[in-house]
Structure 1
Amino acid sequence: MGIAKQAASLRAARTSASIQTYSPAGTIKCDGVRLFRSQAARDVACLLDVNPSVTSWQCMPHPFDVDGIVHVADYQVFNEDGSILFMDAPDRARSVDIQLLDDEAIRRDARYRLLGRTEVYDGFRLRNARDLLRYAYATTPLGDRLRLLSALDEHGSLPLAECLKAFQETKPVPGIAALILHGYVEVDLDDAPLGPETTVRRISR
């Protein structure tokens, strides 16, 4: 299949995705245009944004051409260790065998994964990621950031409710969410919904 047909398939996929909007709207690590094929695909992107091993991700990357069939993955994911992963959300209907997609990814010095539904929807990580990404566009003023990081340096860790008291220049919840999303502090996203008792720790830089 020629380059022109691949480009046409990619344009069609992106045009189809562009007519829908899925929540939450904000992203942290998306490199390029934000186009989501479905809510399930959007949910996967939420998990990518809170995965510390992911440096960036792109929506609907250059298509695979497998035996004349074009497949546009939901994401191309770039990891801290330099590896690249092509990824599809669990609702993805495929017309190409997974092994063939994996072989094509290997040809590009990458890997391919079709996520299972339990990987996305089991536990609390997605719920917490979606809550945090409501504040994806928030910023934390320097004064508030210094006050909180100094308190964490002194105490080692603090409950989330105590951390909120450090914010004097901006609203506390957007402020702490921004610091979590941008890697200044960390919380456990897996054990329970974020709450007043959630432990906050500083991330060493």
Structure 2
Amino acid sequence: MQGGIVVEERLSGWVKQWVDGWVVSRGAAEPVGEAWGWSVAVGVSKEVARHVVPVPVEADVRRLAATAPPATWLKLFAPDEVVRPWVGDEWEMDVAGFLMTLPLGPSPAGPPPAGYSVTCWSRGGVIKALVRAGDGRLAARGQMGLAGRTAVADQIETAPDQRRRGLGALVMRTLQNAAWEAGARDGVLVGTPDGRALYEALGWTLRAPMASLARRAD
């Protein structure tokens, strides 16, 4: 039992790091602590708020699902098939996620491929990286929210016609190095199945699956 408690505490710690950096990245409100996790006011039409539950308990999830208003999201750190039966039909499953971590260190990204350029800047605690093709079009991008020693990677994307050219890795290395130079030492992210292979190749460690559900807006 003691081992299980330690594992849950470590998972909750990683999830809290992710929440703290994510709210900086997205400009959301400060997380509000709850017995089951954290509630965050997001304030956009498709996501008014989100409830983040690091160790989902069926009774808690059922209560949240029954009382949450439309355009609320649930982020539950458990497999989809475990938590889906706990919510009603008004909840839609989003793409599954994976919580991952990385000890940050100096890791210069190196030059971009021929014909591409990289711009990296920081504002308001958010580091952004933009890769552009020779004609100026967006090729890849991403950002990290800084929260103390933690940097949370967010909104990492590569244009469909620019994939398999190493641009996603270029964005991540650029962000990781900039975050380390800014004082961050712990990297945390929630990646999609499509991004998991990239992050693992860059040394990120998988910590837990995450189910993402949204209550349909009226």
Q: TM-score range by the shorter chain?
A: 0.3 to 0.5
Greater RCO (CA < 8 Å, at least 6 residues apart):
2
TM-score using structure 2 length: 0.35
Structure in which a larger fraction of residues adopt strand: 2
Structure with the bigger percentage of helix: 1
Normalising by structure 1, what TM-score? 0.36
Max Rg structure: 1
